[in-house]
Amino acid sequence: MTLLIQQMGNSMTYKLESFIEKIESPVVCDFDGTVVEYADGRDLANHVFDRYWLVDSININDGKVLLKMKENKNTNSVDWIGEEGVVRSFF
């Protein structure tokens, strides 16, 4: 699951992609120990986050979708494909 990045003013905000809104069951998200319940996927998809969250695991319990989230700390990395930086030299 990926997030859609939006620029709002001087701060970067993040939203889950629109496909999450198709979840019709209640959704419970665990954000590094902080648990938040949403009425359904549409409610979650409309939420704006101040950090870039990735889904670490997905479970179902008592008719609720349980998402364990983890923060992606590489949001500003220019080295996004894992390559080493290139040192340019003309000598």
pLDDT above 60: residue 25: yes
pTM: 0.65
pLDDT above 60: residue 12: no
Give the model confidence (pLDDT) of 35-86 as tens digits: 999 999 989 888 888 888 888 888 999 999 999 988 887 766 555 555 555 5
Please name which of 69, 44, 47 lies closest in space to residue 59, comparing C-alpha atoms: 69
CA dist 18 and 35 (Å) reads 21
Query: Sheet containing 34-38: which strands, arranged edge to edge?
Result: 34-38, 27-31, 64-71, 53-61
